[in-house]
Amino acid sequence: MHLFRTMHRVMLFLCVILLAPISQSLAQQDNRIDINSLGQGNFSQVSDKIAKLSRTGDIKLVPVFEALAAGDLYVRKTDKVVFIAKANSNVLTLTDTITGTSAGEGAKADFERIKVNNNLRRAVRTAIGALTLLSPDREVRLRAAYSVFSSPSEDALELLETAIASEEDGPIKSIMKQARAAAILKSDRSLDDKRAAVKTIVERGDRDALSILSAAQGNADGELRKDIDRALEHLHSVQALWDAGQNIWYGLSLGSVLLLAAVGLAITFGVMGIINMAHGEMVMLGAYTTFVVQEVIRSSYPELFDWSLIIALPLAFCITGLIGLSIERGIIRFLYGRPLETLLATWGVSLILQQGVRSIFGPSNREVGNPTWMSGGFEFGGMMLTYNRMWIVIFAAAVFLTLLFVLKRTRFGLQMRAVTQNRKMASSMGIKTPWVDALTFALGSGIAGIAGVALSQIDNVSPNLGQSYIIDSFMVVVFGGVGNLWGTLVGALSLGVVNKLLEPYIGAVLGKILILVLIILFIQRRPRGLFALKGRAVEA
Amino acid sequence: MISAFILKSLDRNISVCIAVLAAVAFIVPALNLLVSTESIFHIPTYAVSLFGKYLTYALLALALDLVWGFCGILSLGHAAFFALGGYAMGMYLVRQIGSRGVYGNPLLPDFMVFLNWKEMPWYWYGFDHFWFAALMILAIPGLLAFVFGWLAFRSRVTGVYLSIITQAMTYALLLAFFRNEMGFGGNNGLTDFKDLLGFNIQSQGMRASLFAASAIALAIALLISSAIVRSKFGKVLVGLRDAESRTRFLGYRPENYKLVTFTISAMMAGIAGALYVPQVGIINPGEFAPANSIEVVIWTAVGGRGTLIGPIIGATLVNFGKSIFTAQFPEIWLFALGALFVATTLFLPKGIVGSFRQMSRSRTTRKRADTPEHLQVDKVGDKGANLPAESLAAE
């Protein structure tokens, strides 16, 4: 026996010196006992065991915890050994908890699943977060810091302090500090520690900070309570500002969508005095052009996918522009001087285009993908900005500026403005007004087409796409006034922003109704919109 | 005096049309109820209901024609008045269900029970009584039209702008009625009706009576419209339509004339809706859809705006076509409707009746004296800057 113990010591010595991995296996032996004990006891006992395990800081425990949270951890009924297992009908594919190697298969009946509830899941999340705090991988550490922060627990404190001491990456370190502060608030540390923790958390200034402090508020009293109250007040006001900022951003993005949809309409309405009811269908055709371009790219040139929108833009402009030109030449030019009838005829055209698209592409929504540079988003302070919305705002601005340039700085624009202001005089000065009309209509339709390319990124591409924008576009044009691009800009942006600012208070639908009513009332005050053209020509 | 006024307003075409409608109001129900089902003269009940529906559409188109064809106001919101009248009728019919609903609640309609409401909203009070519902059928569309028109006409909103804000109005109502909180059954609307005036709404007799009521309502509306159009009031309306500024300079107040006409027209549309709902058995917010209002415009345009008989013919023809197309070739219907819009505006700007009259007039100059004067609008003078852009380029 003695001999055996000596042998064992020698072996151990050798192991430590020469075979370091085997030394680990001893520590693992400890862990294995604890892991196997996960199979017994009630939820709160299991939770304590998880906390104990996580304090070892052994990163290899992470898969076990993940399996536990996912409900993939089983106990063998015969010897109470715990395995990670994947169930496949009645057979379990077993994985060893420590080595991560396969441990064969077993019948489901011989095993019992370890049940988890939400409290346990939270404990597991914290444990995983704490364990991965020391990971060499920066990304993993960052994620761990976040997860510990979002479910702070006293058990993670020691590990956090170790991690903070060894952390060199600035941002991760500050998140860890915040996580530590959050954990301190839940622990029974000294008052000074807690007050310092409140300060650390307030610096975050976001919703998370708000919820952590709100949770802590209930348990606090005296000085700490005052501190927390003050901090919460501060956070609430900061949050309100960010919320307003976020809503204004949403409003701007809605406004640019409206601007894109309405600006072409405004041009045709301004120059020709007619409302083009088929305008929404031009938007829809632009979106379908994007769809077709993406289909071709997917099947033939998948490497070009990120370029699909840039390819679709000129195509959509040309296709819808040409359709617009043919509508003008084929129908509208026979109806001059009868704007209300043009409205009816273009409504007819819109029905035909809708049904045409429905017959070709089917009535359901078509999938239009986002290129990589348009998906995702980033956080700016307390605001979330998505790339697709941001690009649409930029795109709308670009379209608007280009149009402004065309109208103010080119010969065609000059002629267009002349026709808008006084058709007869322009005609007498040698401007071919029918030609200007046709090109204006084509331009307006083309712009609707490229608006469709942009809208395909944020809306469902279906034959009804245009219908959903047409009334809003009318509102923008009528509100902004005719014959002035700035009117359309102001109209679109203010409608967008007001809409989104109203939404949190009275809901989307009531907000929209209210805006419609407000516009109806506004038209009573200014029958020609915000920026009306002045002079006799308007009466004609 | 009133009868003299009305008699004076009748020309031969209108009298014939009213006589035909009156005859139809009696003959069709008789052929449905009294003739045995084997006889070739028997009219099946579904056909009675179908044509009853067309008659209500015709009434709606006539209402629109009164403002568009004679007053130059292209309302793209007439379906709203139609639907409001329908909802008023629907509310009465829902109250008649009593405790026979799915939940068997004697006090509340099914959808309110479903939404867990404890008591009826105040605006449902009174709809137990037919007289009150009948009053509301006239009052609600009329009041909305009056307020809307008072605001719009006073500030001289005309032409395309007016069309767009009427469209905004019906769109806003559409969104509002979709909300459950409004207390009108939300998305599903009002349906599952049982009785009207104590008689089963599904019964053959009730169907035939509703048809007769629709035909008579249309005849009366035609009579009233004809009286309006042929009076001095009507002449001013046509003047407004063709040269609003000139009429104003002559000392007339356009806003008053327009307001009266718009309100009367809305009430007619409300009656049409009220007759429509019991015949189709449901009213839901879809009736407020802007596309519906535009469709009414095309019925009127096809038949011939500025003629009173035209919209009746147009509404019946287009809807008959729609019934056939949507049953036989559902794919093609929207193509056909779209083409109809384009073709009517391009080739038939005066509609079937208008073109027919023009043809018969140009054939014999003698007949010119017989044409209703309201069609011989003045076309003298230049089309100067003061002529409203939407002036009819007819004739």
- Residues B153-195 pLDDT 10s: 888 887 788 888 898 899 999 999 988 888 888 888 888 888 7
Among A197-206, A246-255, B46-55, B280-289, the minimum mean pLDDT is found in: A197-206
Averaged over A146-152, what is the pLDDT? 71
**Does the CB of A425 have a partner CB in chain B at under 8 Å?**
no
Residue A146 pLDDT > 50, yes or no? yes
The interaxial angle of helices B290-303 and B333-347, nearest 10 deg, is: 50
> Predicted confidence band at B143 (pLDDT cuts at 50, 70, 90)?
very high
Averaged over A192-211, what is the pLDDT? 72
Among A46-60, A65-79, A429-443, the minimum mean pLDDT is found in: A46-60
Q: What is the pLDDT of residues A384-443, one digit of tens each?
A: 788 888 888 999 999 999 999 998 899 998 998 888 888 888 889 999 988 988 998 999
Per-residue model confidence (pLDDT) at position B272: 94
Would you say A533 and A484 are in contact if contact means Cβ atoms under 8 Å apart?
A: yes
Residue B200 lies in a domain: yes
Mean pLDDT, chain A, integer: 79
Amino acid at site A268? T
Domain that holds residue B238: 2-366
Residue B373 pLDDT > 80, yes or no? no
> Predicted confidence band at B8 (pLDDT cuts at 50, 70, 90)?
low
Give how far A360 is from chain B: nearest CA, Å.
11
Residue B94 pLDDT > 70, yes or no? yes
Averaged over B271-287, what is the pLDDT? 91
Q: What is the pLDDT of residues A319-369, one digit of tens each?
A: 999 999 999 999 888 887 777 788 889 989 999 999 999 999 988 888 888
Mean pLDDT, chain B, integer: 83
The interaxial angle of helices B78-97 and B254-280, nearest 10 deg, is: 40
Structure tokens at B204: 């053959």
Closest CA to A264 of A540, A499, A452, A415: A452
Nearest to A338 among B338, B344, B393 (CB): B393
Residue B386 pLDDT > 70, yes or no? no
Residue B353 lies in a domain: yes
Entry pTM = 0.75
Give how far B286 is from chain A: nearest CA, Å.
15
Tell how far CA B130 is from the center of its chain: 21
How far is Cα A188 from Cα A182, in angstroms, rounded to an integer?
12
How far is Cα A72 from Cα A70, in angstroms, rounded to an integer?
6
Structure tokens at A219: 């348990």
Averaged over A71-92, what is the pLDDT? 77
Averaged over B145-154, what is the pLDDT? 91
How far is Cα B79 from Cα B132, in angstroms, rounded to an integer?
22
Contacts of B393 in chain A (CB under 8 A): 337-338
How far is Cα B180 from Cα A335, in angstroms, rounded to an integer?
43
Per-residue model confidence (pLDDT) at position B84: 94
Q: Which residues pair with A105 in a beta bridge?
A: A93
Among A225-229, A314-318, B45-49, B336-340, the minimum mean pLDDT is found in: A225-229
Nearest to A345 among B157, B335, B345 (CB): B345
**B344–A344 C-beta distance less than 8 A:** yes
Residue B389 lies in a domain: no
Residue B144 pLDDT > 90, yes or no? yes
Averaged over B41-52, what is the pLDDT? 84
Contacts of B325 in chain A (CB under 8 A): none
Per-residue model confidence (pLDDT) at position A396: 92
Per-residue model confidence (pLDDT) at position A139: 73
Residue of A nearest to B180 (CA): A509
Residue B293 lies in a domain: yes
Residue of A nearest to B302 (CA): A344
> Predicted confidence band at B218 (pLDDT cuts at 50, 70, 90)?
very high
Structure tokens at B299: 């019925």
Residue A306 pLDDT > 50, yes or no? yes
> Predicted confidence band at A10 (pLDDT cuts at 50, 70, 90)?
low
Residue B221 pLDDT > 70, yes or no? yes
Q: What is the pLDDT of residues B299-358, one digit of tens each?
A: 998 888 888 888 999 999 999 988 888 888 888 888 888 898 888 888 888 888 888 888
For A:125-184, CB contacts with B below 8 A are: none
For A:499-518, CB contacts with B below 8 A are: 509-510, 512-513, 516-517
Averaged over A272-280, what is the pLDDT? 83
For A:469-498, CB contacts with B below 8 A are: 471, 474-475, 478
Q: What is the pLDDT of residues A449-469, one digit of tens each?
A: 999 998 888 888 888 888 888
How far is Cα A327 from Cα A325, in angstroms, rounded to an integer?
5
* Number of domain units in chain B: 1
How far is Cα A311 from Cα A315, in angstroms, rounded to an integer?
7
> Predicted confidence band at A173 (pLDDT cuts at 50, 70, 90)?
confident
Contacts of B299 in chain A (CB under 8 A): none
Dihedral of CA atoms B199, B202, B206, B208 in degrees, nearest 10, equals: -170
Residue B18 lies in a domain: yes
Tracing tokens 């100067």 back to the chain, one arrives at B384
DSSP state string for A250-292: HHHHHHHHHHHHHHHHHHHHHHH----TTHHHHHHHHHHHHHH
3-state secondary structure of A165: helix
Residue B256 pLDDT > 80, yes or no? yes
**Does the CB of A275 have a partner CB in chain B at under 8 Å?**
yes
Residue B266 lies in a domain: yes
Phi, psi of A413 (to 5 degrees): -65, -40
> Predicted confidence band at A314 (pLDDT cuts at 50, 70, 90)?
very high
Among A101-115, A256-270, A356-370, the minimum mean pLDDT is found in: A101-115
